[in-house]
Amino acid sequence: MSEQQTFSDNWWIEGDAPVRSAPRAAFLIDGRLTMLEMCVRFVGAKHSISIAAWGLTPDLLLVRGKHHRAGPDGSPEQKTLLDWLCSKGMEKVDLLFWQRCQALSVANVLNYAVSKGVEVRVLLWDTYSLIFPTDARKVHAALESLGVRCLLDDSHMSILNHPAAALHQKAVVVDSQFAFVGGIDMMTEGNGEYDRWDTKGHIFQNLLRLRSDGKMPHGWHDVHLKFEGPAVADVELNFRQRWNAVAQLHELGKDWYLPEPPEQANTTHATIIRPPEHTVGELRIQMTRTIPNRIYNFAPDGIATILESYQRAFANARHFIYIENQYFWRRTFLGLENPALGIPHADMEKLIATLADAIGRGVVVTLLLPDNPNVGREFTDEGLQYLWELCPDAVMLGSLAAYTLGTFHEEPVQDEAGETLSNGERSPTNNRMRYRPIYVHGKVALVDDMWITVGSANLNNRGMRDDAELNMAIVHPRMAQALRMLLMAEHLGLCDEDTLFRIIEVMGQVRLKYCRSNCMIHLPL
């Protein structure tokens, strides 16, 4: 596939954000690396931090273990850590805070940023407290007490909107220079049972993830994208549009509004910007969104470019489609765990039919889904069943497969008195294997080692229409192949934790180029 074909294959979406360049980008796989990178940028921030979140836990530790304190002062390990932080642009005062802070929690880190004069704004989904466990008002009060400007976005609370509509975007912008977009919120749920901070190994016993009751939570797999360049302005625009809409809704004073930058590019009815043919250019990236209609004044008719992006990419597929998602619902979920009570959603039926069409022309479709979603497991099963009915021979022919993730731990069996039955020899009768699902929460798709989407949107009616979502689409063969190989290496246990960490760290430092000689299609492992 040539570079010219790549861009003429119609991957991009018109009407919302233009295609931009991104000189640097890195996939931050799982919470440990994502929150570490966020924390580094928060501590080193110079003038602004903007956070749009579904939920937030002020006491959540963003950095744990050796990246907070690698060893005693003066030790080689601690010096290596400090050198690494310096390479990220931290000043001496920031390094002192990092070393002296007892807990690099969300609250402590944002409070430090405020103390330096950084303007910190958090836009938080205002939930129905009787339905959802996250108490947005308590979080709001905690953040305001630190000097953080926090708005509770209740724009969705209307009888005209989906009763469980969520403002689900997970996006961060620091100093108008660094953007983070993906599936990870800086939070925990359920007494720590759903702690977003996890390592790539998702090990069964991890003392850094202990719940408050001393038990171990489920593993948590997720993906975020960090990038620099002109596309950061689009993520910042999305935040500003939502923030100002909420400020206007609540009739707040002018000092609450975010002003337009001096030279804000017009993203309304944006056209596609392509690199010149037969030249080497930087990575191309595009912001895509789901904005429900009748919620925000800046998009009264809504925005559905995430759905359009998925449809177009699946229709373009010629070799393989790889999907990681929390849900795969054909029907609308209204809180009752019975698919028969959910109405089929036209957009999801069409999207699943597009997948079936791809399978029909020889495309291999692979899905990674959670074994233990918080809701809607039967709805996902029904969605898979519907896809199978559209292409009943696909599983037998190896064209369709669905997987989940889990971790195991072997432990000795004890008798009623609590004594170990083992006589020192390993046997099936005196040891047992314990299984714990790894929660697949990432919202990622890859097509033909060419197109990628990473963001907050789930594959259901809410992610495509009814929630506020934010994804980034990328067309770049080397980056697509790299992401696929990183995910496969993690899921199959082909690389250790530190090796994967170093690979992603290097990826975020390299200036990315789009080169015709790299446009090879590599079939999946």
DSSP sequence for 41-92: HHHT-SSEEEEEES---TT-BSS-GGGT--SSTT-HHHHHHHHHHHHTT--H
| pLDDT for res 427 | 45
In terms of domains, do 157 and 210 share one?
A: yes
Q: Are residues 322 and 432 in the same domain?
A: yes
Are residues 350 and 251 located together in one domain of the fold?
A: no
Q: Is residue 449 part of a domain?
A: no
Kindly report the CATH number assigned to the domain that includes residue 503.
Answer: 3.30.870.10
Q: Are 363 and 400 in contact (CB under 8 A)?
A: no
Kindly report each contact of residues 256-260 with a partner whose C-beta sits within 8 Å and lies 24 or more positions away, as own/partner: 256/149, 256/151, 258/121
Of 439, 459, 487, the last residue of a domain is: 439
In a domain, 425, yes or no: yes
**One-letter amino acid identity for 386?**
Y
| The residue type at 78 | Q
Contact criterion met (CB below 8 Å) for 187 and 196: yes
Q: Is residue 401 part of a domain?
A: yes
- Under a CB-based contact definition with an 8 Å cutoff, are residues 511 and 438 in contact? no
DSSP letter at 399 equals S
- Residue 6 placed within a domain: no
Residue, of 52 and 276, whose pLDDT is higher: 52
| Distance from C-alpha of 263 to C-alpha of 499, rounded to nearest angstrom | 42
Number of domains in the chain: 2
- Residue 490 within any structural domain of the chain: yes
- What does the pLDDT look like over 390-417, one tens digit per residue? 999 999 999 999 999 999 888 776 655 5
Q: Specify whether 248 is located in the same domain as 307.
A: no
Asked if residue 40 is part of any domain, the answer here is: yes
Pick from 409, 439, 469: which residue ends a domain? 439
Q: If phi over 0 gives left and psi between -120 and 50 gives alpha, with beta otherwise, what is residue 423?
A: alpha
**pLDDT at position 410:** 81
Range of the domain at 403: 303-439
Cβ–Cβ < 8 Å for 7, 475: yes
**Nearest residue to 288 via CA among 306, 271, 312:** 306
Considering the domain architecture, whether residues 185 and 310 belong to the same structural domain is answered as no
In this structure, the number of other CB atoms found within 10 A of the CB of residue 395 comes to: 14
Q: Domain check: are 162 and 228 in the same one?
A: yes
Question: Can you tell me the mean pLDDT for 22-32?
Answer: 93
- Phi and psi at residue 212, in whole multiples of 5°? -65, -20
Q: pLDDT tens digits, residue range 266-282?
A: 444 444 445 444 334 46
- Residue of 420 and 370 predicted with greater confidence: 370
CATH number at residue 321: 3.30.870
What is the H or E stretch that residue 150 is in?
A: strand 149-153
Taking residue 271's Cβ as centre, other Cβ atoms within 10 Å add up to 10
Q: What is the per-residue pLDDT for 262?
A: 78
Single out the residue of 141, 174, 192 nearest to residue 45, CA to CA. Answer: 174
Local confidence band at 498 (pLDDT 50, 70, 90 cut-offs): confident
Percent of the chain with pLDDT over 70: 85
* pLDDT tens-place string over residues 152-167: 999 887 666 665 678 9
- Amino acid, res. 508: G
Q: Closest by alpha carbon to 267, among 296, 227, 238?
A: 238
**312 and 349 inside one domain:** yes
The residue out of 413, 439, 465 marking a domain boundary is 439
CA count, 13 A, side-chain hemisphere, 275: 23
For the chain, the average pLDDT equals 88
Whether 487 and 424 share a structural domain? no
What is the Cα–Cα distance from 282 to 270, expressed in whole angstroms?
A: 20
Neighbours of 405 (CB within 10 A): 18
H/E stretch holding 470: strand 469-475
**Residue 387, SS3?**
helix
Same domain, 52 and 126: yes
Is residue 505 included in any domain, yes or no? Answer: yes
8 A C-beta contact, residue 395 and residue 388:
yes
Calpha distance 324→307 (Å, rounded): 16
* pLDDT beyond 80 at 424: no
Confirm whether 289 is domain-assigned: no
Provide the residue count of the chain.
525
- Residue 455 to residue 303: CA distance in whole angstroms: 15
**Which 3-state string (H, E, C) describes 327-345?**
CECCECCCCCCCHHHCCEC
pLDDT number for residue 30: 95
Looking at the structure, do residues 512 and 425 belong to the same domain, yes or no? no
Side chain identity at residue 140, one-letter code:
H
Within this chain, do residues 34 and 173 fall inside the same structural domain, yes or no?
Answer: yes
Split at pLDDT 50, 70, 90, the class of 118 is: very high
Residues 244 and 124 placed together within one structural domain of the fold: yes
Residue type at 312 in one-letter notation: R
Q: What is the pLDDT of residue 434?
A: 85
H helix runs in 130-272, sequence order = 136-145, 231-249
Instruction: Please give the share of the chain, as a percent, with pLDDT higher than 90.
Output: 71
Provide the pLDDT for residue 495: 81
How many whole angstroms separate alpha carbon 314 and alpha carbon 296?
29
- Give backbone dihedrals phi and psi of 57, rounded to 5 degrees, phi first: -115, 105
Q: What is the pLDDT of residues 303-360, one digit of tens each?
A: 999 999 999 999 999 999 999 999 999 999 988 899 999 999 999 999 999 999 999 9
Query: What b-and-e string marks burial along 424-446, b requiring 16 or more CB atoms within 10 Å of the CB?
Result: eeeeeeeeeeeebbbbbbbbbbb
